[in-house]
Every structure is written in C-alpha cells, then in structure tokens.
Structure 1
C-alpha cells in the first residue's frame, strides 16, 4: 500500500473524531518502531521471499531467520506445533471450487509430503500439515502445474474469498455470483499492490438466499439482492471474530454486478493507507476502523475516494433460513444433481481425495468445499445418483447415512498442530457429537456446535448454536484441560455474538454438561423455540443451574 500518512478522521461536521489521535499525522518511521511486523515487511517484502525458496530449502531449519519464517505466511505457510521444522500449508480455493484434477494434485501432495491427510477450512481452503521447508522446491512447481496457489493464504493480505459452494447451480439462488468472486480473486488475491495490509482481511461474495457463507462475520460482505429488478449486492462491513468479535453492519448502499468490486477496493486503499491501523497489531483489523468511523462516515469516505455517490440500498437482505447444502439436490442444469456429503470432522485422507477425484472425473463432475468443512459433488447425472452415492461410500468412505449434526459442526485445527490451541479440538468435537447423537437422535438434527482451541475463532465458536473455546483450569493437582461454553450466538436473522455463560468446564465433564443443557432446551422450550432463543430467554444464573442439573432453578 501507499506510504502516504493519513490525516486523523473527522466527523460529518468537520470536527476531529474523538476516537482518533488529535496530534500530528503518524509517520512510517513511528509505525515501524512500534510494530515489528511492519518493520519486517519493510525490510523485505514477503512476496519477494519466493526468489529465496531454493536457498531456504537447503538451509537447516534452526538457521532460518525468524523474520523469514514470518514472511512464509504470505505463501500460506505457518509453523506447526512443536516448532521443529514442519509447516502447515494452506492452499487457496476461491469459493471452494475444485476440479477433479486439482483435488487429485492436492491428494498426491498430501500423500507425498503431508503424511496422508488434509483439512477443509471454514474459508473453503484445504490445509496440509507436516510440510518440510526442504520440500518446497518440489511442492510449488506441482501446485503451479495444477493451477493451484498458496500465495496470500496467510499474512497481512486479502485471504481466500469465500462464497456459496453451490453458486451457479442451485435453483434457489438469486443469481450466480461466481464471476464476481473469480474476478475479485484474479484482481486482488496475491496481488503485491495489496500485499501489505495492516492485518489479514476477509471478503465473502454470494447470492445465496440462505446466507450460508456467513456474511455477518466478514470484513466486507457482498450480499446478493435484487433492487428495482436489477441483480447486485448490499455491502456489509466490519464483521469479524477472534478476541474482539463483531457482527457486520450495513453500509447502506446497493452496487451493481459491474461496480461490485469498487467498494471493497476502496476499503483496502482507505484502511491500508491509514497509519493509525498499523501502530498496534491488536487494533489493526478493519472492524476497528468501522468502530471508529461508523458506517455513515465510512460510506462518505468511500464515495469521496471513488469520486461518485453510491446508490442507496432500499431493503437490507435477510436470509430465508439456514442450510448446509448437504444431501441430494436438483441443479439448474437439466438432468444434473449435486450431492453434499459430511466430512466429519473436516479431515480428508489422501486416499479419500484421490477417490473423490476419480469418481468426479469419471462422472464429468466437479467438487466444492463448504464453510462447515464438507464436500459437494456437482454436475452429477441424475440417473447416476444411486451409483454415485454407493461409490462415495465404498471408495471414499463418505456417506449421507450419518447424523446430520456431523455435517454442520465445526472444529478448528487445534491439537496437535496449532501453536495457539490449549486443548483438543477435532477429537473433542467427535466425542461430543457422538455422545449427543446417541442421547437425542433426530431431535437435534439442526444443532450446530462450533469448537475452537483458542480465542482466534478459526472454528467460529462465537456464532455456533453452542460455541466452545478451549482454556485451562487450575486444580490442586495442576492445570487441566477445560472449555468455556458460549450460548446465545448465531448467524442469520438473529445474528449475534455468543456469551461465555459457563467458564472452565473440565474437559472430562464437557459432554455431560452439554447433554444437560440440550436436554433442558428440548424439554422446556416454548412453541418450538430455537436453542438460541431459549437460552436468550434465560438468565446466566438459570443456565448455570441447568448445567449443574438443577432444572427447577432454570424456570424460577
């Protein structure tokens, strides 16, 4: 981004915003003195590290400078835990789109370099683990040959652009937003001009009537709508999770398909050039700029930057419900169906990837990945549906004949790979889901449990029906694994950030605590109210009583 210092923000009346710094404009020298990441980016642009891959691959791990280990993030590479030389590699897949050839390439890389498995992420990527820096000169050419990239997978950049996984094929969509997603990816992803943002930045673009792509929790969301007969987007800004979660706010504008990317581009440039948001990593995300200015002032700034007024949004679009796009569905294309299958808990073995690629290729099908870490086979000939289901189960171990909760519960990477995680994640999620499905069966078919091992919220625990975050509990015997339980959160028409109503529940007790809460909801709910509505109606004290098995206290 430009190195022009930004003036402090002003209100519509021209007075200095109280949230801004009243003193003189900041300088890049001050920023780099305060923020070591900004200094590292300045000393060597992270995308330029590609010229040194061969040298770094030949360098013993312990001799690679920590600054270059940080720059690897711009190439989708993070330290795995423990830090002994293995990396996580994040492969960017805009809108979660995969051809059979691309999935086969990923499966082969996983088999050859990543100990035979990969993870589907909530940003519709695939991550591989156990990647050795010494193998990068072999890995990157194979990715490029398959039309794949890790560039901009991590770091202070625009991350993978997400959307509805059945865009372009689902009969209910308002219109196909795929061309806008792909153009955004082409124009901005991995583009050095936007490779030095204050922090990571996330977009989602979709015309799904269910808002399956969670626009509420993105820095910028283009939300499909029809205004005066014309397809286009409402723009939402300032969403995000991590340690300071926010639900996105409407900017109040409608943009046509042709101008859809002008507003997100303006956001990148205005935010990226404001040095206030480079002084502290903890306050650098775009949501803090939205907090400081508000949507109205931000719209004014964007219009000034673009040199034109934007069209007012007449009706803010709302989702018609929620969906996971799993199961068998007819496509827009005559004679075709898509089949969404759970991938629980978001892990695919290399042989599964290779099997799905083979099945898809033979059918002339494609593959899509979902936010809730599942897989969709598209363009399946309807007359071959039963055959395809049988092959998915027999050759890839993927089946629709499982409890639905397995298809819409999320677990982050967590243990054993993530350096931030303080507890089990995917294994704990499996334990919880298996226990609850045995206890309640189809009564909880729509329940969503989102579990994270730390506050960073890669598993989106703030907005699950039940959110779970790993922590620790100090006992006389020492520290033990524990979890906070968050309730009242959710997406959609009742979008809200959850609250940690239960703190430091021992890991050994967690599934039983959740069983008591779910049972109380099923028994005591009124007029079929959702779990979110039920626990919103109750006080913290009532919920805590339920968690301890005191139902009388909960209805007092």
Structure 2
C-alpha cells in the first residue's frame, strides 16, 4: 500500500516542481572507487598510471646504470616520485623554504637534490655489525644523520644519488636493504623486539615474520597496492607493536582448546581520518599467520580504493564493508579454509615499552635504552656497536617506541654495560619526559611539514627536566610537523600538530594545534582537541610546564595524566 501511494504521488510532485520552475535533477551515478575487482584496472590518477606502466622496483637498475653516473638532473620526474619510494628513497626538503610554503608550492619546487634513505629492520632485528654498517654509511655518506623510527627502521638524510649504488652494496653484503622501504607496498613488518626471549611472551612470532619477508614480500603481486600497507606481529603479552593503528596486526592470544596463537586486527590508521583497527574475531595459529596476512593484502590490492589517494587505505574499505563482510570475503575468496573463532584478548593495562632491565626466560637479561626522540649520529651508532661487541652482545633490537634493546646480557655485565651505554649518549634510566617524547622528521627534511619538530622536541625534554624534574607517571608528548600524524599525535597524552599560527603581535609564525588525552592500550581513544587552542613554537615549553604543574596540583591518588585531562576544566588546559 505504501509503495503504491508513493509511486502514485510522484507524477504530481514532479508536476508541482516543474510548475514552480525547478526541474529535479536525476541522482548522480556513484563514482568509481577504482577497485580492481569491481571497476577494472583502468588508471584513475597519475600514480596508478605510473605504477601500471612500469613497477617501482624497475628504477633500481636505472639508479645503478644511469642516475648515479649522470647525477640528479638525469632523473625523470616519474622515477623521482613515485618510483624511488619503492627503493626506500624520498627527496628531502630544501633548507631555504619555510613552513608557510608547505601546500603552496609543488613537490618539485619543495624538494632538494638530496634523499632520505630508509633501511629496513623487519621485526626490529639488527646485529652489532649491521648497526656499525649503518653508522659507517651515515658517517661517510649522510652527514652523520641517523634516526630510529617508530616502524623499527633507521632513516638517513643528505644521501646523494651518486652514492646510492655503493651504499646498497655495503648494506646488501651485511644482510640489509632499503627496497620496499616506502611506496605502495607492504612496509617493514613490526615485531616484538623481545620475541623468543621475553619471560612474559605468549608465543614467538618470529617464524611468521621470516616467512612473510622471505616468501611473500619478493612477489610482484604485492608491489602495486593502492597505498602503503602496515603490518605488526607480536606474541608478547605487552602488546608492544601498536596493533590498534596498523592495516593488519596479530597479537598473542591463547585459545581455550588450541592454545597459543594470535588475534588478528585489520583497518587501523591515523593521519587526518584516524580509525582504530577492528578484530576479525578469529584465533589464528602461528602457521596460518602468513596465509592470513597475504589474504588481507590481496583484499587490499583487489578491493582497495585507488581513485583518490587520500582514501586509498585499508581502513576505508573496512569502514565501508564492516568487519563481518570483510571476514566473509577473506575466508571465501582468499583463504583455503575458514578461520577459527577465538576469544578477544583484553588490552594490556601496563607499559608497552621495554626500557630498563628485564629478565629473559633463560635467566639472562635484556636492557632497553633511549636515544632522545630516536636521534643519533653515525659515530654514535659505531660506538654503540663497539660497546655491544665488547660485552659479547650479538643481538640488538629497535622498537616502535624508538628504543634500542640489548639482548642476552649476563647478570654480571648489567651495570658496566649500562654505564658504557650512558657514555655513548643513550639513556638507560631516562626521565618520564625523555622516555615518552616522540617526534616526526619535521620541517628540517619533510616536504609536508609546517614546523620544526625534532630539534624542538630535544630542547623541550631538556627544558622540562630542568624546570619540572621528573614525573612519577608515564607521559607521552608528541610533536608532529603536519596533520599526517607520523608521530601519533592523536594517541599522545599531549599532542602537538604543526601549523602556521598568528602570534600576539599578528605575525604568522610556527605553532601547533593542541590535542590532549589520547591513548593506546587500555581504553584506546583519540582524546580531546581543545577548540581553537593553539600555541606558538616559542610557547610550547611554558605550556607543557603549566599543564603538568596543574595536573600535579589537581590529581587524585593514582590518577594518570590522561585521566585528569579528560575530566579537567577547559580553562585549566589552556
């Protein structure tokens, strides 16, 4: 009855509309999202065209044969960006262009004739000899720059195209690579830095990481995804790989019938549209992790959105489909057998980092130390390798919190090793401010940045230690140069998102939008953004001191900083 009434009324409505002089427009056809399985493979933007014409890794031989001999000016634009990303290379920002020009100039105008180079450490695994190798490359080719990243890599800067083949040769001889360090590919696989040794480990994920790296990453089928694909796999009870913000992640889970395995999450990510990953509701045994990983990567390849680059992440597909449909497609189209339903693993309420001294399950120890905001020099990396070798350490690990871990320490070596590392500029017992500070590359090298971050973060820690001393609770402070959240602004206790702001005298200067009370782990949340509240770069130190001082005065017994932020009056947060 209702349907008939609506249909009968339609002609009268159209007549009334036409009589009023307004012609109702037909509904627009839905635009293609560029999903290969639904829309075909016709490229819908320049990046997709370039990738289809010639894969990113094809540029490697041209670097060796042509560009390294003829110089920067010989590199065509389509190799420079995007194909060089597949080689782990980005052009860095010109030093004479301020943040006010970000977004105003084209990428080709912002870029310098030098590169950032990203060295992969899948699972965060590195030997002293490999660290020494990176240190020597930094010293000899990268103006002694070296930054640990939150993806367990090391990044170098000031790389000349003429030096790239020699650098690759030196890396490859020592079992290292820059390939697939960037680009629309599976990025470095995050892993627990204490896999196989931690006393609190549920299951060692190392075999799964090794299988993916050795037998899946080299396959061409994974070298043209819609955009980056971020993976984390950890069987540690600390859930130490930020699984909530990865495209795909596996964390340790114990099935009541089948024992230790993993819970799988998909569709997480930050940037300008942050989304928390969602659990598939499945328990995955260790031997099926690579298969499930490959199935999810193939879904992204075939169904991921390719028309608009800012929607070409797995999180948007998961949001559109919902987790039930996603799992159904995964099981019916991409896996050999359905997944086993499994228990949901509760969030670990404790610290996730590995700083300080911890006992291994074999009776030895591991020690986590902190380079401030992950920054180091080539000479410092060489000195660290020297210390490790002096104490017989053969296994080092990088972490998603930009720490460096030393495994397999004999009990009698703990104190002298700690003292030796302190002498290299590492911190075995950092303040909570130094422990929790995070920064992106910022204006110094990044073409997307509006403000300087890394140098400012180092200055901020020194300032806070001098003026406040220390805190008795964890506090994570993030400085990000742009809205893309490489430093995880939305999940920090105090997050600063870089932008150009107006100071009290009407000048346009570097500054930050303030974001407070975000978190991962127990009760993950984006926190609260203070409406209209911005601080200039010069005010950051005073603002944090003021905020922390009010927290110390107003907190209740046992109240964490984030908990106070979420209940505090807005005036107290200004």
Tell me the TM-score normalised to structure 1 length: 0.90
Indicate the residue corresponding to 1:468 in structure 2.
496
Q: Do structure 1's residue 458 and structure 2's residue 486 form an aligned pair?
A: yes
Indicate the residue corresponding to 1:261 in structure 2.
290
Indicate the residue corresponding to 2:370 in structure 1.
342
Larger deviation: 406-415 or 282-291? 406-415
SS at match of 2:373: coil
Larger deviation: 187-196 or 506-515? 187-196
Match of 2:347 among 291, 298, 318: 318
The number of aligned residues is: 521
Match of 2:572 among 543, 546, 549: 546
Deviation, structure 1 residue 440: 3.2
Query: 1:132-211 maps to which residues of 2 (within 5 A)?
Result: 132-211=160-239
Deviation, structure 1 residue 428: 1.6
SS at match of 1:277: coil
The answer as to whether partners of 1:343 and 1:398 remain within 8 angstroms in 2 is: yes
Larger deviation: 179-188 or 436-445? 436-445
Match of 2:417 among 388, 412, 425: 388
Match of 1:27 among 40, 44, 52: 40
Deviation, structure 1 residue 477: 4.6
Distance 1:443 1:273 in 2: 49
Indicate the residue corresponding to 1:497 in structure 2.
526
Indicate the residue corresponding to 1:6 in structure 2.
none
Indicate the residue corresponding to 2:59 in structure 1.
49
The answer as to whether partners of 2:230 and 2:247 remain within 8 angstroms in 1 is: yes
Indicate the residue corresponding to 2:132 in structure 1.
104
Indicate the residue corresponding to 1:234 in structure 2.
263
SS at match of 1:130: strand
Q: 1:180 to 1:22 in 2, by over 3 A?
A: closer
Indicate the residue corresponding to 1:514 in structure 2.
544
Q: 1:23 to 1:155 in 2, by over 3 A?
A: closer
SS at match of 2:194: coil
Match of 2:75 among 60, 64, 70: 64
Query: 1:368-379 maps to which residues of 2 (within 5 A)?
Result: 368-379=397-408
Indicate the residue corresponding to 2:457 in structure 1.
429
The answer as to whether partners of 1:484 and 1:503 remain within 8 angstroms in 2 is: yes
Structure 2 portions without partners, runs of 5+: 1-28, 95-110
Deviation, structure 1 residue 372: 1.4
SS at match of 2:273: coil
Distance 1:413 1:188 in 2: 30
Indicate the residue corresponding to 2:566 in structure 1.
536
Indicate the residue corresponding to 2:273 in structure 1.
244
SS at match of 1:376: strand
Indicate the residue corresponding to 2:22 in structure 1.
none
Deviation, structure 1 residue 199: 0.3
Q: Deviations over 1:438-487 (max 9, x none)?
A: 34333255111122111111111111111111111135654101101111
Indicate the residue corresponding to 2:48 in structure 1.
38
The answer as to whether partners of 1:250 and 1:316 remain within 8 angstroms in 2 is: no
Q: Deviations over 1:364-389 (max 9, x none)?
A: 31211111111111112221112212
Query: 1:82-101 maps to which residues of 2 (within 5 A)?
Result: 82=94, 83-101=111-129
CA RMSD of aligned residues (A): 2.0
Distance 2:320 2:311 in 1: 11
The answer as to whether partners of 1:341 and 1:399 remain within 8 angstroms in 2 is: yes
SS at match of 2:478: strand
Q: Do structure 1's residue 131 and structure 2's residue 159 form an aligned pair?
A: yes
- Bigger Rg over Cα: 2
Larger deviation: 227-236 or 467-476? 467-476
Query: 1:2-13 maps to which residues of 2 (within 5 A)?
Result: none
Tell me the TM-score normalised to structure 2 length: 0.87
SS at match of 2:260: strand
Deviation, structure 1 residue 431: 2.7
